[in-house]
Amino acid sequence: MKAFTEMTGKVVPLDAINVDTDAILPKQFLKRIERTGFGEFLFYDWRYENGKEVQEFVLNQDMYRDGTILLTGKNFGCGSSREHAPWALTDFGIRVIIAPSFADIFYNNAFKNGLLPIVLEEGEVGNLFRHGEDIPGYRLTIDLVHQTVSDDRGFHCHFSVEPYRKELLLKGLDEIDSTLVNQEIIDSFEKNHRIHYRLKS
């Protein structure tokens, strides 16, 4: 995974609550076995109608096609536990999602796939939506090291993240990679364990 320390990106305002994983990536695309190439199908049923782009949908607007920070409502990622949902978001180019709350399984899957979900109070999220309406191409800076969200107009707040998950993102490691960091210790244990087993036999 790509390491995450600090980034400044354009905010994509998706003003909706209870966005479920079937909306994020519809079920007809789950047959694919690759972990890449899902970005074109992100929010497919909202982005397209009869194969044509729905111009009113935020991701189809030129201003937001290169957005990297998704701003949305509470309970984002509810529904089924499909890991394909964060795959689609990251493949599209989203690195951060800001919401008042997330579904637990989606929240966990996001971290495992290099996506940073940030929980802010509803009032703070509302302020960000208003800034996005007033400022074309509104951008935020996300500092994972200091756990802050800020803009160049005075907005500044802190967010919480578990230290273990923070460390993995900062180093660009998934859970398997974090285990392999200790490969020498694992190999030594297995070698000694095999010797001990043969002696007992």
pLDDT tens by residue, 96-107: 999 999 999 999
Contact 68, 74 (CB under 8 A): no
In a domain, 1, yes or no: no
In a domain, 193, yes or no: no
pTM of structure: 0.86
Please say if the pLDDT value at position 174 is more than 80.
Answer: no
Please say if the pLDDT value at position 130 is more than 80.
Answer: yes
Contact 79, 20 (CB under 8 A): yes
pLDDT digits (tens, 9 = 90+) for 38-56: 999 999 999 999 999 999 9
**Model confidence band, residue 199 (pLDDT cutoffs 50, 70, 90):** low
In a domain, 21, yes or no: yes
CATH number at residue 147: 3.20.19.10
Please say if the pLDDT value at position 28 is more than 50.
Answer: yes
Instruction: List phi, psi (to 5°) of 99.
Output: -155, 160
Average pLDDT, rounded, for the chain: 89
**Model confidence band, residue 176 (pLDDT cutoffs 50, 70, 90):** very low
CA separation for the pair 79, 23 (Å, rounded): 9
Instruction: List phi, psi (to 5°) of 165.
Output: -65, -40
Mean pLDDT of 111-121: 96
pLDDT digits (tens, 9 = 90+) for 140-171: 999 999 999 999 999 999 999 999 999 999 99
**Number of structural domains in the chain:** 1
In a domain, 176, yes or no: no
Domain that holds residue 167: 6-171
Residue 192's pLDDT is: 61
Tokens found for residue 104: 């637990």
pLDDT digits (tens, 9 = 90+) for 178-187: 444 445 554 4
In a domain, 187, yes or no: no
**Model confidence band, residue 194 (pLDDT cutoffs 50, 70, 90):** low
In a domain, 200, yes or no: no
In a domain, 23, yes or no: yes
In a domain, 93, yes or no: yes
Mean pLDDT of 109-121: 96
In 90-200, at which residue ranges do the beta strands (DSSP E only) sit?
96-99, 116-119, 139-143, 148-150, 156-158
